């Protein structure tokens, strides 16, 4: 399975995968993404639902049993967590290169 | 009050519903064939937002509505299979829109386009069944009275009008399916155009 094809992640996807390392429902993810990004990333409801649907289809998240009958719970899959890690490595590499070049000046 | 309305563009429809509310006509529902129902109320500023989705089951539909409610949006109209889902903000949590990026707003048109294509495929299949049932010879759906066109005067007209209802009955499904295919073709092409327009839009929404 080629995980590289998912990269680069959009900011929305990145925060969803990160938030769902712990199981949560849709709105909890919206709140967590906002909190983790320091209030910068606000995912609206329609965008959030669409993103969850896409991630389910790509099997990067899965739905898990929910105590609330109305609200579905989601969790990042192992594959999703690996994609997240690859993305972090990619970003880190980019930041490292920037620092090296800036350091040369 | 009922009005016949068809929209190809979600933004235009949102604006229409907003304008109607501003004139004191509050949107209630859509019924079959695109009739839009309004109730009289006091003129108000209602910021309608429309999503486009079809759900595989009731549970998923409920989950969808619950997410929007949590985020401050009230689901005002739409059914599991209606496609269009109508929302109004109910508190300050809602913000100004149900989409926070352009790609997800445009994705509505993509879904709509796909559903139009699926419907076209489905009705072409029905057409094929009709063609198959007459062995590819559509004249079998027309007038079957032997020697009808050789007759003249009263003999012709009486036979013609006698068979006409049967011909219409035989032709109805064919004409209906073809009309539906053209309709979905038009709708789908509009959806595709709108999708491309939104994706190419120059906007600060990224």
pLDDT of residue A47: 96
Task: Name the band, by pLDDT with cuts 50, 70 and 90, for residue B71.
Answer: very high
Q: Is residue B21 within 8 Å of residue B27, measured between CB atoms? A: yes
Tell me chain B's radius of gyration from C-alpha atoms: 24
Tell if the CB–CB gap between B63 and A70 is shorter than 8 Å.
yes
Task: Name the band, by pLDDT with cuts 50, 70 and 90, for residue B203.
Answer: low
Confirm or reject contact between A45 and chain B (CB < 8 A): yes
Confirm or reject contact between A44 and chain B (CB < 8 A): yes
Q: Which of B60, B70, B104 sits opposite A27 (nearest CB)?
A: B70
pLDDT of residue A94: 95
pLDDT at B33 > cutoff 80? no
Q: Is residue B181 within 8 Å of residue B124, measured between CB atoms? A: yes
Pairing of strands A61-64, A73-76: antiparallel
Question: Domains in chain A, please, with CATH?
Answer: 9-104 (1.10.10.10)
Q: Is residue B71 within 8 Å of residue B12, measured between CB atoms? A: no
pLDDT of residue B205: 47
Chain A CB contacts of B103 below 8 Å: 10
Chain B CB contacts of A16 below 8 Å: none
Give CA B186 to chain center in angstroms: 11
- Residue in A closest to B89 by C-alpha: A45
Task: Name the band, by pLDDT with cuts 50, 70 and 90, for residue B87.
Answer: very high
pLDDT of residue B202: 65
**A-B C-beta contacts closer than 8 Å:** 66
- Residue in A closest to B106 by C-alpha: A47
C-alpha distance from A47 to closest chain B C-alpha (Å) = 5
3-class SS at A63?
strand
Comparing B34 with A100, the larger pLDDT belongs to A100
Contacts of B31 (CB under 8 A, 6+ apart): B2, B37
Whole-angstrom Cα distance, residue B4 to residue B118?
25
Q: Block means of pLDDT (10 residues each) for chain A, length 105 residues?
A: 88 95 95 93 95 96 91 96 96 94 74
Q: Which of A41, A46, A50, A68 to mutate to test the interface with B (most CBs of B within 10 A)?
A: A46
Confirm or reject contact between B105 and chain A (CB < 8 A): yes
pLDDT of residue A105: 57
Which token pair is B6?
A: 């068809």
Comparing B201 with B38, the larger pLDDT belongs to B38
Average model confidence (pLDDT) across chain B:
91
ipTM of the prediction: 0.90
Instruction: Give the least confident one: A69-83, B33-47, B135-149, B170-184.
Output: B135-149
Residue percentage of chain B with pLDDT more than 70 = 98
Of B113, B117, B114, B62, give the one whose Cα is nearest residue B85: B62
pLDDT of residue B206: 46
- Residue in B closest to A72 by C-alpha: B63
Contacts of B38 (CB under 8 A, 6+ apart): B1, B2, B3, B20, B25, B26, B27, B28
DSSP single-letter state for residue B155:
H
Q: Is residue B187 within 8 Å of residue B116, measured between CB atoms? A: yes
């Amino acid at each position: 399975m080629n995980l590289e094809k998912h990269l680069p992640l959009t900011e929305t996807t990145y925060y969803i995968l990160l938030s769902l390392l712990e199981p949560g429902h849709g709105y909890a993810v919206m709140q967590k993404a906002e909190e983790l990004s320091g209030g910068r990333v606000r995912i609206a409801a329609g965008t959030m639902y669409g993103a969850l649907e896409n991630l389910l289809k790509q099997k990067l998240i899965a739905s898990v049993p929910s105590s609330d009958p109305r609200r579905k719970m989601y969790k990042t899959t192992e594959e999703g967590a690996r994609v997240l890690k690859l993305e972090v490595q990619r970003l880190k590499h980019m930041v490292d290169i920037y620092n090296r070049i800036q350091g040369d000046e | 009050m009922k009005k016949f309305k068809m929209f190809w563009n979600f933004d235009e429809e949102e604006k229409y519903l907003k304008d109607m509310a501003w004139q004191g006509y509050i949107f209630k529902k859509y019924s079959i064939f695109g009739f839009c129902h309004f109730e009289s109320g006091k003129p108000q500023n209602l910021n309608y937002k429309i999503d486009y989705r079809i759900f595989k089951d009731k549970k998923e539909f409920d989950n969808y509505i619950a997410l929007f409610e949590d985020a401050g949006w009230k689901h005002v109209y739409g059914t599991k299979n209606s496609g269009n889902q109508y929302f109004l903000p109910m508190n300050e949590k809602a913000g100004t829109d149900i989409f926070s990026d352009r790609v997800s707003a445009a994705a509505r048109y993509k879904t709509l386009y796909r559903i139009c294509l699926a419907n076209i495929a489905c009705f072409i299949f029905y057409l094929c069944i009709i063609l198959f049932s007459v062995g590819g010879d559509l004249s079998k759906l027309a007038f079957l009275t032997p020697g009808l066109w050789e007759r003249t005067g009263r003999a012709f007209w009486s036979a013609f009008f006698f068979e006409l209802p049967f011909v219409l009955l035989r032709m109805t499904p064919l004409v209906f399916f073809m009309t539906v295919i053209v309709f979905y073709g038009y709708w789908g092409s509009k959806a595709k155009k709108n999708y491309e327009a939104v994706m190419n839009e120059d906007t600060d929404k990224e």
